[in-house]
Amino acid sequence: MPFVLDASLALTACFRDEATPEADQVLEQLNDDEAHVPAIWPLELLNALLVARRSGRVRPEGFPELVEVVRSLPVSVEPMATERVFTSVLSFAQAHQLTSYDASYLELAFRLGVPLATKDARLRRAAGRLGLSVLP
């Protein structure tokens, strides 16, 4: 079954201290199920890795390996039309008090009618209010 994969869950592939058996199970689903991500996803993941490197959480010599982990995740990056950003993404952000980034995941899952895979509590609640399934 296809699903939308947000950055919080995808990053558990890089930061094992944030991983859970449930998150690992969702990442395993990438072998069989199609994962969709909004266009901001690669930038969001790269930014998290850069912040981790700058803060010393990731050693410089380990950085290229983590970038490759992210690059190798089999996802379908969905383009984001500017009009959609200023209409439906904005609407989701306002209605659920989300950042525009998080609202883009919610909007994509809602539009595709697929579950949302996230560790973010606020995003999980918003998805539940919309009747979307949430993974894990």
Q: What is the DSSP letter of 20?
A: -
Listed residue (22, 13, 135) closest to 74, CA to CA = 13
Listed residue (114, 93, 1) closest to 40, CA to CA = 93
Domain boundaries, the chain: 3-135
* pLDDT tens digit sequence for 75-89: 999 999 999 999 999
Q: In the chain, which residues have pLDDT < 70?
A: none
Q: CATH code for 3-135?
A: 3.40.50.1010
H/E stretch holding 124: helix 121-129
Task: Please give the pLDDT value at position 100.
Answer: 97
Task: Decide: pTM greater than 0.85.
Answer: yes
* pLDDT tens digit sequence for 109-121: 999 999 999 999 9
H/E stretch holding 28: helix 21-29
Task: Please give the pLDDT value at position 16.
Answer: 93
